[in-house]
Amino acid sequence: MSKIGLFFGPLKGSVHRVAEKVKTALGEQNVEMISVNDASAADLEKFDQIIFGISTVGKETWDSNYSNTDWSKFFPNISKVDYSGKTVAIFGLGDHVTYSSHFVNAIGVLAKELLKNGATIVGEVDPSGYEFDESEAVMEGKFIGLPIDEDFEPELTDERVANWVNTLKPAFGL
């Protein structure tokens, strides 16, 4: 079995900590973690199974010319890859209090680009356990990936990751 590529960013923060939890839950031997800061389209092409870990930094950042984050540098690589035949999952961090109108929007922004390029996305999450006003990550009534709020709900992270990973394991052949 080939490894799952877990592409995450930024390095050394909440997304990195959650990525470590996902890796542990899937079995460390099954996952190769790659910081998006160091990754390229060629790195994405090596994997048939991919997990992305991303954070939503606020609508004003997405709408600005600010391009100094790991993901803003890496994001153009997403559209360079054909994801046909690849199984992809996304988790995203967001703040449901301060950004309740843009909660985990980065999951949705990333998912739309992946879907345009043929990805099969797994790991949808029912939004009923979350408080928020709007999110680009909600598609057809479900989050297209796993939302995590380390700012205001860190006590829920371990359970949410464990439940999500259990839904991923069959899709990833584990």
Contact in structure between 77 and 117 (CB atoms under 8 Å): no
Q: What is the mean pLDDT of residues 7-35?
A: 93
For residues 142 and 116, give the distance between their C-alpha atoms in angstroms, rounded to a whole number. Answer: 19
Residue range 101-159, pLDDT digits in tens: 888 998 999 999 999 999 999 999 999 989 999 899 999 999 999 999 998 999 999 99
φ/ψ of 110, rounded to 5, equals: -65, -45
* Full domain range(s) for residue 31: 4-171
DSSP bridge pairs for 146: 91
For residues 71 and 121, give the distance between their C-alpha atoms in angstroms, rounded to a whole number. Answer: 19
Closest CA to 165 of 6, 21, 14: 21
Which is higher by pLDDT, 1 or 33?
33
Residue range 35-76, pLDDT digits in tens: 999 899 999 999 999 999 998 764 444 444 545 577 888 889
Mean pLDDT, the chain, whole residue set: 89
131 CB-near residues (< 8 Å, 6+ apart): 96, 100
Say how many domains are in the chain.
1
Residue listed under structure tokens 């391009």: 67
Minimum mean pLDDT among 2-6, 54-58, 80-84, 134-138: which range?
54-58
- Per-residue pLDDT, 102: 82
- Per-residue pLDDT, 36: 93
- Per-residue pLDDT, 57: 62
The enclosing domain of 24 has a CATH number of 3.40.50.360
Q: Give the Cβ contact number of residue 144 at 10 Å.
A: 27
Contact in structure between 39 and 76 (CB atoms under 8 Å): no
- Per-residue pLDDT, 116: 95
